[in-house]
Amino acid sequence: MPPGADRAAVIPERVGAVTGAAARPATRDFFSRCAATVNLITVRDGNVASGMTATSVCSLSLDPPSALICVNREARTRAAIAAAESFVISVLSQDQEEVANLFSRPGGNKTIPETLLSDDPVLDGIGPEFPVLDGVAGALMCRLQCAVDFGSHSIMIGLVEAVYKNEADPQPLVYHDRRYVSTVANLGIAWLQDGLDASSISALGW
């Protein structure tokens, strides 16, 4: 930029950019447009299993295998995980929208009846401190390693102790733009049925 030039005159106006207080709802809107699998975070609080719906879940490392979740600092689930020092990340399957809605209600009853927990024999060797909901696509059983508070939430890091995969291999539940949507796999099947050629599927990363 030439000396003495008016910076405002040189830099074009950024259409749609927001700052200050407006950045908060804009940030929330931005992340609503990021498609994410819907997860249920479960924890054993004494003799009772409880759960919380979450999309703020991320793989962290494979050496050692670990994952992180983001939980509101005021949520009962946060206190329960800190006390139990363990938690489960379960990927909900496409037919579990009702479960996702049930455990996403603020202030709602987060208790999971024992009848809703999985009785898959594959889980027989897993300790009772890792409650896995029946019908989920898969689950990570984690030992809490640390929690970092930032703003309204806690970043809770868990070391993966066991991994569960549903042999029925159900499609995961996905959330995008504040609604549940079909996975790309299901959309691809529909497009193939409508005559979409293979090169188009390849362009989507298949």
Predicted confidence at residue 187, as pLDDT, reads 52
Does residue 12 form part of some domain? no
Predicted confidence at residue 16, as pLDDT, reads 64
Does residue 144 form part of some domain? yes
Rounded Cα–Cα distance for residues 52 and 103 (Å): 5
Domain tally for the chain? 1
Rounded Cα–Cα distance for residues 2 and 196 (Å): 53
Residue 162: name the closest of 197, 129, 192 by CA.
Answer: 129
User: Which residue range forms the structural domain that includes residue 171?
Assistant: 25-203
Does residue 6 form part of some domain? no
Does residue 145 form part of some domain? yes
- Residue by residue, pLDDT tens for the chain (206 residues) are 555 555 444 444 454 676 777 776 776 666 666 667 899 999 998 889 999 998 889 889 999 999 999 998 888 899 999 999 999 999 999 989 899 988 988 778 889 988 889 988 888 888 888 999 999 999 999 999 999 999 889 999 999 999 999 988 888 888 876 777 766 555 555 444 555 444 443 333 33
Does residue 35 form part of some domain? yes
Does residue 13 form part of some domain? no
Predicted confidence at residue 10, as pLDDT, reads 44
Does residue 115 form part of some domain? yes
Look up the CATH number of the domain holding residue 52: 2.30.110.10
Residue 137: name the closest of 179, 187, 111, 100 by CA.
Answer: 100
Does residue 165 form part of some domain? yes
